[in-house]
Structure 1
Amino acid sequence: MDKSTENPEEDTVSLRSNGKTPACGVTKEKQGFIRTFRESARRVAAKNPLSPGGKGSKVKPEADTAGKELGIQTPPSPSPSTGSVKSPLKMIGSIFQSKQENNGDVPQQKSISIKRTKTDPNMSATHENFMRGRLTQSMNFGGRRLKNKNAKENKAVPEGTLEEKEEEKEEEVLTEVEETYTLPELPHTLLSVMEISKLIEMKELEDSHLHLLALRQEFQQEKERCGEVSPVELMKKEKDLSLLYGNLRNKITAIVRDSNSPSSGNEELLLPLARIIQEEEKRAEEPGSLQGSWMEAWREAVGEGVKVKLESVGLEQREQKASWLADHLGLLGKTIVEDLENVKRKLRWSYPPSFKVFGTYVKSYHRGVAQHLKKLEQQATELRELYSLLDWIINTYKSECIMGSQSLQPEMNDESTELQLEENFLKQLKDKYCSKVKGDIRDSLNRVIEIEIEEVWKVKKDPEEDENYFVSHIPMDIWTKMEGVVKNSRRIDAELEQKATSSCLEELKPFPNRFEEKFNCHCSTLKPQPLWTNYQITYINTFTVLQQHMEGYLATCPGEVEGFRREAKCLIVRLLQGLEDQFKEEVKPFLRRMMTRKWLNDDSDFTQLYKRTETLSQHCALMRPPHLQEFASRLHYHVAREYIGQLMKNYYSCKNRKHENAASKIRHQWDKLRFVFVDMESTHEWLHSVGDELCDIIGQKKNTEIKNNIEPLVKQYPDFSKSHLVAVLNFRGLVRGREYQLILQRFTELKK
């Protein structure tokens, strides 16, 4: 069966543009448009009160009357009756009227040409051009939407109650715009410069561009006939062309700049302006073209729109809200994602594929955000603000929160997620951050000293104890502050972690000296009170613990850790030396009176010596290792040397067998001192036996036995000299005689 018989409403007109037959899909789309346009024209004509049979017409044809009398309903005539006025829409609809509707014998395959009709005298030339432009737009600037309209059939009802009811459903399906296009025929009648400018102002881009091309064509023809046309007129026309093209480009720039704004309403203009850009890029080398690339101008317009979008994001002042920058960056990321989602979902379908719309917007955001961040960097002065900025740049921007968002996939797979920052911007920002870290750590260390002055030194507060050690808040406060900075920096990247750690340690390096200076200034008057000793032990522990904490950064910053370790160790040594000097000063008068007549008869001096040694031992029990052992060993050596040294000074010589009492007393006192230093964990165990060996020599009842007891003393203590032996014999009361000489002779033999 013939298709024309099956579907008499189907338009079988074959459209041709510029002698080229459109593709199948394009033909169907254009035919659908023509059919819809013709049906609309018919409905308008049917409703025309001046048309016979039209709704509201008072003139009824005789055929209709006769038909009613016979009970036959005659369909309305497709053509107007004689004397009726043609409406413009009816006239335009007649252009597409197929000959098959008038003559069913004509084969369907035979195509007919579209003829121009004369314009109604009442229509202005501008309106004629506008209608022709709209028609060519629909035919040649095919949009990105395919519209399916389903209308219900009108059911016949009794006369007098006839009403047309139509229900249209429009489904919008986004399809990719064709890359190629057909340029409509240029108008034969040119508009004036003012009229073209008015079209541009009214955003009639297609019509204004066609007239510009016609004007440009005329200019090119006149330029070729340069001898026939006045150079002044030619220059004037070239100036007009440049002015109009400039206006058109500015209008396109403004439309593109605002195209991604919800309130722009210019979405339907994007495809026409894209075709204009394509056409002008092709004609870039022809005379009369505007300087500069149209495509580049479009990209710049996209960038300007992105810049406006970024600047519209809310930004509060620091005085209004402490988290002003973090909040702004959060809103900034949300705006970027929403904008690119709109480009992906809608905007990119308004352009041909060659424009690479999504990628252009992504690159524009990379550049625009980089410039926006440069302004924010100048306002960021606090450490938390600089951290927020660095974290957003290095981590957040390219993460799933923004450029890596799932809603932007898979388009983002082909795009870079890196910001287009200036060459040294990130380095300068990191340096600024590290400089602020140093200042922040310096302020924290100063506050540590101030707290110690106000809460401890001024009120003479006793140190706190924890796990049998004197403790202070200082190492934990400093380590907590530093560790927070290091951890935050590590979240950004390893390079910043290393720089921030180095900055902290560099600022920490001079802290021990500053602390010691303040301590001596505020607490030197406490000497030699026990509180002074307790403070010194407390700060020995403090810097020991702080040094251990800093060892954790040895792998990251070995040089800086070693520098702080050296300064902390020097302070600990000075504090230990202060304790040692204080103890030596306290026991000096008591040690000086050892091995004298008073000492032999009175224990008061030794009692004071022992008391102070035991008190210091109790204090030192609250000192952390390894300094306790080192300090106890030094004190042990000092007390032993000074105690025994009094024997060598020949202050007293025992007579009348008092040497036995002296030996017994020395042994008893030596044992008491030994037990004290054992409790202090002294490592000088070799000093324990020296007292016993001397007591054996001093306490011997017979002088003849002395030479047999000096061998252990000589072998264990190589520095024990002949003068030492003479002093010991003198204290015993043996200063001459044969036995005296035999003892010295034996000593000489042992030394060999």
Structure 2
Amino acid sequence: MLKMVTFFQGLPGQQSVLGTLDFPGSPQKSRSTSEAEPEASMSEASSEDLMPSQEAGMAPDEAGLAPDGEEEESARKEKKKSKGLANMFSVFTKGKKKKKGQPRLSDPEVQPKSRPELDGPPLTVEELKEALESGRLETAWQVLALERELEAEAAAGRRSHEELVRQQSKVEALYLLLRDQVLGVLRQPLEAAPEKLRQALAVVSQQELEDRRAAGAPVAAVLVATRPRRWLQLWRGSVAEVAAERLDAQPAVTPEGRSEAETRFLHMGCTMREDLEAVVERLKPLFPAEFNVVHTYAESYHAHFAAHLCTLAQFELCERDTYFLLLWVLNLYPNDVLNSPKLAQELQGIRLGSLLPPKQIRLLEAVFLSNEVTNVKLLMNRALELESKHWAQDVAPHSLDGHYHSELAIDIIQIISQGQDKAENITPEVGVQIKQLLLVELAALLRSYQRTFDEFLEKSKLLTNYRANIIANINNCLSFRTFMEQKWQIPQDSLNHMLDPLKDVKAHGFDTLLQSLFSDLKPLFKKFTQTRWATPVETLEEIITTVAIRLPEFSELKDCFQEELMEAIHLHLVKEYIIRLSKRRLILKTEEQQQQLARHILANAEVIQHFCSQNGSTATWLHQALPRLAEIIHLQDSNAIKIEVATYATLYPDFSKGHLSAILAIKGNLLSSEVKSIRNILDINTGVPETSRPLFSLIKVG
């Protein structure tokens, strides 16, 4: 399988996100006119406009009023309430260490605690504005205090409608500043100091609590409803924007030899994996669990990645990009990105789904399979055409380990294997689909190979390297056969059918290689009948010597084919010997003559068997062919002959009455009735074994 790390390493200039997540900052969004107006008008209001009212927030003596027991008690409660708000938001200035595990809003370090220096008098509006613009998030508690005071005053009806509206506009202007500061920190979380990040997170968490509180409390009629503010939702939106910016960024370098789409996939995959790993390692420990930070980033990156690929898939892609798109969607993305060691456990509970819908994937798979099969067919035909040109141009084959060697089988196997591997790299299921298609194309190629080879055998006999190229092509058959048996685990019947063209290539090659040898042996075998078997031992020695001299011509065959070739020679020697016995030119009327011929046949059979076995023949099935015929000639009792004939017929099922009649003709002392009775033994059907090989079917008798 192609591994994703291979592609990742191929992106020079790709910056690691770890250490920077770099969720790079982007310019803050410009505020709308409606947002800007309250801020602009803030300077028009005095700082007291947004201060808690004296009546609501100060003791009577501080406001310059005569002390009264009831009023004094009321003022004390209001003052205590204001101080409580200060305590609530003091968390923004505390540098308390985080406990192990992901914090929650209910955790002690997230809950506000008092800090002495913040218990002083509240900041003026101008001071709050300056503090927020300078990024002092610890002042957020005072903005919330102003909002609550405003709500209390509106509910109590202490101020006029115009004054309340004016005050609310100032509060909202401060909130706009606070929101931009908080979201600015959260937009680049790894660039912020941990304490700053905690402050921003605490502000968002508190705002979510306020949204829930406000949902159950009616808003005064004179105030505009400003809740829910949904800052957590705004943060999620900013994460989606960051994901888009990160994934859409142009790679620093486009690797040579890769298309634009390939480079884009690699960049997006690298960026997503590295960014999410940074989120898991560095942000998750800081973010409260309610933020679901890993899920939020993963879903945002996935959504943008999927949208990009869906758009890309609508266009007509080149073959390479179609393959690479499927490879990413079905293999590299789910296995090497989502299931990478640092992310697999974190993303288990997230059902991100596929980058492309199933229908689109099936369409792309069909296009890929069609493209790949077409390419494989084209490349295989081109390889065969190139090889056949070398034959015609009398180019000598290479020699490898002492055997003639052709590159054709290697080329075809490599082409097929590459097509299969590409499909399996996508998914095992696609690999199964292409396997059946490639088998069809390979079978067609082998048939074309056989036809091309037969044409070469017919037309190129005078070329210098004619025999060498024949041997090289026979050797090819082993490479093809081994590849098909080991690589393609298909039923034996189907495999045998596919191998038939290779069997023909080998058989036709053997026939051509042995043609001149067998021609040389023909006149030698004729001597048996010409001399009326007077010197069978000397004749056979001459035959064996001739074969032995010619055997080195076949040494460039691979060992297994040398054995098969020797088996073919073995069969030829036995067959020709039987043909000479079946010529009906030798009639022996006495028992002594018949027994003498039988002894010659046995001796000759031993010489043939020993020579052929010694030179690699494994045709043990031929060992009984001549000795059993010698026994039929030797026996004199007709019943004994019948038993021997019946046994012989089980060993060689193609032994016919015609062949038997030719052998019995040698026994001139048999009566015609005995010959007929013996021949009738072959009428008994003993069944032809499936593994039987032709011998007597190769011998014609008159």
Same fold (TM over 0.5): yes
**CA positional deviation for 1:515:** 1.3
Q: Are 1:517 and 2:451 an aligned pair? A: yes
Q: 1:438 aligns to what?
A: 373
Q: Which of 547, 550, 563 is matched with 2:481 structurally?
A: 547
**CA positional deviation for 1:685:** 0.5
Q: C-alpha deviations, 1:686-737, integer Å up to 9, x for none? A: 024257558979xxxxxxx9999979975764568774356325xxxxx6xx
Contact 1:449 1:515 (8 Å CA) reproduced: yes
Q: CA separation in 2, counterparts of 1:689 and 1:725?
A: 13
**CA positional deviation for 1:35:** 1.5
Q: CA separation in 2, counterparts of 1:341 and 1:632?
A: 67
**CA positional deviation for 1:440:** 3.7
Q: CA separation in 1, counterparts of 2:351 and 2:329?
A: 14
Q: Which of 328, 332, 339 is matched with 1:392 structurally?
A: 328
**CA positional deviation for 1:541:** 3.8
Quote the RMSD (CA, aligned, Å): 6.1
Q: Which of 253, 259, 269 is matched with 1:333 structurally?
A: 269
**CA positional deviation for 1:381:** 2.9
- 1:448-487 alignment runs, 5 A limit: 448-455=383-390, 458-462=393-397, 464-466=399-401, 471-487=405-421
Q: TM-score of the superposition, structure 2-length normalised?
A: 0.55
Aligned residue identity for 1:685 = H
SS of 1:464's partner is strand
Q: 2:431 aligns to what?
A: 497
Contact 2:602 2:627 (8 Å CA) reproduced: no
Q: Which of 341, 348, 353 is matched with 1:418 structurally?
A: 353
Q: Are 1:381 and 2:286 an aligned pair? A: no
Q: CA separation in 1, counterparts of 2:179 and 2:370?
A: 57
Aligned residue identity for 2:364 = L
Aligned residue identity for 2:124 = F
Task: Give the direction of change, closer, same or farther, for the CA distance of 1:691–1:450 in structure 2 (3 Å limit).
Answer: same
Q: 2:201 aligns to what?
A: 174
Task: Give the direction of change, closer, same or farther, for the CA distance of 1:710–1:38 in structure 2 (3 Å limit).
Answer: closer
Q: CA separation in 2, counterparts of 1:174 and 1:419?
A: 32
Q: CA separation in 2, counterparts of 1:306 and 1:434?
A: 33
**CA positional deviation for 1:361:** 5.7
Task: Give the direction of change, closer, same or farther, for the CA distance of 1:536–1:300 in structure 2 (3 Å limit).
Answer: same
Task: Give the direction of change, closer, same or farther, for the CA distance of 1:724–1:22 in structure 2 (3 Å limit).
Answer: farther
**CA positional deviation for 1:596:** 1.4
Q: CA separation in 1, counterparts of 2:389 and 2:427?
A: 39
Q: C-alpha deviations, 1:178-202, integer Å up to 9, x for none? A: 24345987879xxxxxxxxxxxxxx
Q: CA separation in 1, counterparts of 2:608 and 2:161?
A: 131
Q: 1:205 aligns to what?
A: none
Q: CA separation in 1, counterparts of 2:157 and 2:610?
A: 127
- 1:20-419 alignment runs, 5 A limit: 24-25=84-85, 28-29=88-89, 35-37=122-124, 40=127, 133-136=169-172, 138=174, 172=199, 174-175=201-202, 176=205, 177-181=207-211, 210=224, 275=229, 310-314=247-251, 321-322=257-258, 324-336=260-272, 359=295, 362-377=298-313, 378=315, 380-383=317-320, 385-398=321-334, 401=337, 406=342, 412=347, 414-419=349-354
Q: CA separation in 1, counterparts of 2:228 and 2:471?
A: 81
**CA positional deviation for 1:351:** 13
Q: CA separation in 2, counterparts of 1:554 and 1:492?
A: 19
Q: C-alpha deviations, 1:193-236, integer Å up to 9, x for none? A: xxxxxxxxxxxxxxxxx5xx7xxxxxxxxxxxxxxxxxxxxxxx
**CA positional deviation for 1:39:** 10
Task: Give the direction of change, closer, same or farther, for the CA distance of 1:674–1:463 in structure 2 (3 Å limit).
Answer: farther
Q: 1:84 aligns to what?
A: none
Task: Give the direction of change, closer, same or farther, for the CA distance of 1:562–1:472 in structure 2 (3 Å limit).
Answer: farther
Aligned residue identity for 1:550 = M
Q: 1:507 aligns to what?
A: 441
**CA positional deviation for 1:513:** 0.9
Q: C-alpha deviations, 1:132-190, integer Å up to 9, x for none? A: 523355489976989xxxxxxxxxxxxxxxxxxxxxx98945312324345987879xx
SS of 1:512's partner is helix
**CA positional deviation for 1:445:** 2.2
Aligned residue identity for 1:134 = K
Aligned residue identity for 1:566 = H
Q: CA separation in 2, counterparts of 1:15 and 1:439?
A: 86
Task: Give the direction of change, closer, same or farther, for the CA distance of 1:310–1:130 in structure 2 (3 Å limit).
Answer: farther
Aligned residue identity for 2:169 = G
Q: 1:427 aligns to what?
A: 362
Contact 1:366 1:420 (8 Å CA) reproduced: yes
Matched-pair identity in %:
16
Bigger relative contact order, structure 1 or 2, given CA contacts below 8 A and separation 6+? Answer: 2
Q: 1:79 aligns to what?
A: none
Q: Are 1:689 and 2:627 an aligned pair? A: yes
Unmatched tracts of structure 2, length 5 or more: 1-57, 63-73, 91-117, 131-145, 147-155, 183-194, 650-654, 682-702
Q: Are 1:642 and 2:576 an aligned pair? A: yes
Contact 1:637 1:687 (8 Å CA) reproduced: no
SS of 1:649's partner is coil
Contact 1:336 1:402 (8 Å CA) reproduced: no
Aligned residue identity for 2:170 = R
**CA positional deviation for 1:595:** 0.6
Q: CA separation in 2, counterparts of 1:707 and 1:413?
A: 88
Task: Give the direction of change, closer, same or farther, for the CA distance of 1:664–1:431 in structure 2 (3 Å limit).
Answer: same
Q: CA separation in 2, counterparts of 1:399 and 1:713?
A: 71
Q: Which of 476, 481, 498 is matched with 1:567 structurally?
A: 498
SS of 2:229's partner is helix
Greater Cα radius of gyration, structure 1 or 2: 1
Q: 2:510 aligns to what?
A: 579
Contact 1:435 1:503 (8 Å CA) reproduced: no
Contact 1:340 1:362 (8 Å CA) reproduced: yes
Task: Give the direction of change, closer, same or farther, for the CA distance of 1:681–1:565 in structure 2 (3 Å limit).
Answer: closer
Aligned residue identity for 1:514 = S
Aligned residue identity for 2:229 = R
**CA positional deviation for 1:422:** 1.7
Task: Give the direction of change, closer, same or farther, for the CA distance of 1:337–1:464 in structure 2 (3 Å limit).
Answer: closer
Aligned residue identity for 2:318 = T
**CA positional deviation for 1:572:** 0.9
Aligned residue identity for 2:399 = E
Contact 1:307 1:368 (8 Å CA) reproduced: yes
Q: CA separation in 2, counterparts of 1:607 and 1:526?
A: 34
Task: Give the direction of change, closer, same or farther, for the CA distance of 1:652–1:523 in structure 2 (3 Å limit).
Answer: same
SS of 1:518's partner is helix
Task: Give the direction of change, closer, same or farther, for the CA distance of 1:549–1:13 in structure 2 (3 Å limit).
Answer: farther
Contact 1:316 1:324 (8 Å CA) reproduced: no
Contact 2:566 2:612 (8 Å CA) reproduced: yes
Q: CA separation in 2, counterparts of 1:552 and 1:564?
A: 11
Q: CA separation in 1, counterparts of 2:348 and 2:83?
A: 33
Q: CA separation in 2, counterparts of 1:399 and 1:333?
A: 11
Task: Give the direction of change, closer, same or farther, for the CA distance of 1:179–1:717 in structure 2 (3 Å limit).
Answer: same
Contact 1:306 1:365 (8 Å CA) reproduced: yes
Q: C-alpha deviations, 1:635-672, integer Å up to 9, x for none? A: 544443333333433457799x9999999987776555
Aligned residue identity for 2:623 = E
Task: Give the direction of change, closer, same or farther, for the CA distance of 1:601–1:389 in structure 2 (3 Å limit).
Answer: same
Task: Give the direction of change, closer, same or farther, for the CA distance of 1:444–1:608 in structure 2 (3 Å limit).
Answer: farther
Task: Give the direction of change, closer, same or farther, for the CA distance of 1:145–1:394 in structure 2 (3 Å limit).
Answer: same
